[in-house]
Structure 1
Amino acid sequence: MNELGRHILAEIYGCSSEILNNKEFIEKLMVDSALKAGAEVREVAFHKFSPQGVSGVVIISESHLTIHTWPELGYAAVDVFTCGNRINPWNACNYMTEKLNAKNMTATEVKRGIFEQPVSVKALDI
């Protein structure tokens, strides 16, 4: 079996509310995380909510990284989806967890686009 990509779904807890509410910090962190994993950044979009919270996406050649923060809970939901096998999504996820000064993180990896090698088919003479 082969897969087209790897998708990390991370629950990051015990973070500083100030960090999680800082759009500039979160945006830089996400871009740096992509780069630390060896990804090629294409586009970036982030939004600061009122009264609190930040959401954003970093589009990479290999797919994307997203984050949604709840500063009042010290919580961030993070997705790191990479296609191919050139970069490791765990590198980005672990870097984010470290820089958010998280007390703990749980994550699940989902294999995306799982397929089996095609079986050769002979043409039929009709």
Structure 2
Amino acid sequence: MVQNLGNHLIVEMYDCCPVIINDTKRVESCLKHAVDLSGAHMVQSVIHHFNPHGVSGVIVIEESHFSVHTWPEYGYCALDIFTCGTEVDYYTALEYLKGAFKSKHISVSEVKRGILDLPVKLLHKPETVREQHETVNA
């Protein structure tokens, strides 16, 4: 059975609000809210502000990551959402971020990652994988 390990959205956001995408706290807050809306489980957040402008950050989630790099001087934001399994609603997160950053238009490429032909169904939910590991090692 052909399956993929993850889904990777590569997003180009144009004509974003420069003030918003240059505000480190606001970008981090928006990313965290997008993670919550998607149903993903946040592990850690790292955000950095560049001088004189620009923000880069990553939210590590149990299912993979959300990352952002902004160029306020061009109103541009590069966003990646990479998730494993089918539990994360990444398109809801994307729609929220488009509105939060006030992007006038976006381009989205979706890449299926880790396409494998395996005889068993892949386990993606961290709890399920943990439970299976504990059962095997019991």
TM-score between both structures, scaled by the size of structure 1: 0.91
Kindly state the Cα deviation for residue 118 of structure 1 after the two structures are TM-superposed: 3.9
3-state DSSP of counterpart to 1:85: coil
For 1:9, the equivalent position in structure 2 comes to: 10
For 1:52, the equivalent position in structure 2 comes to: 53
Contact persistence 1:16–1:101 (CA under 8 A): yes
Considering fraction of residues, name the structure with more helix: 2
- Structure 2 unmatched runs, 5+: 121-138
For 2:68, the equivalent position in structure 1 comes to: 67
Task: Tell me the distance in 1 between the aligned counterparts of 2:112 and 2:89.
Answer: 13
CA RMSD of aligned residues (A): 1.1
For 1:122, the equivalent position in structure 2 comes to: none
- Rg larger in 1 or in 2? 1
Q: Deviations over 1:68-88 (max 9, x none)?
A: 000000000000000011112
- Structure 1 unmatched runs, 5+: 120-126
TM-score between both structures, scaled by the size of structure 2: 0.83
The residue identity in structure 1 corresponding to 2:74 is L
3-state DSSP of counterpart to 1:66: strand
Equivalences, count: 119
Task: Tell me the distance in 2 between the aligned counterparts of 1:21 and 1:14.
Answer: 13
Structure 1 stretches (4+) deviating beyond 3 angstroms? none
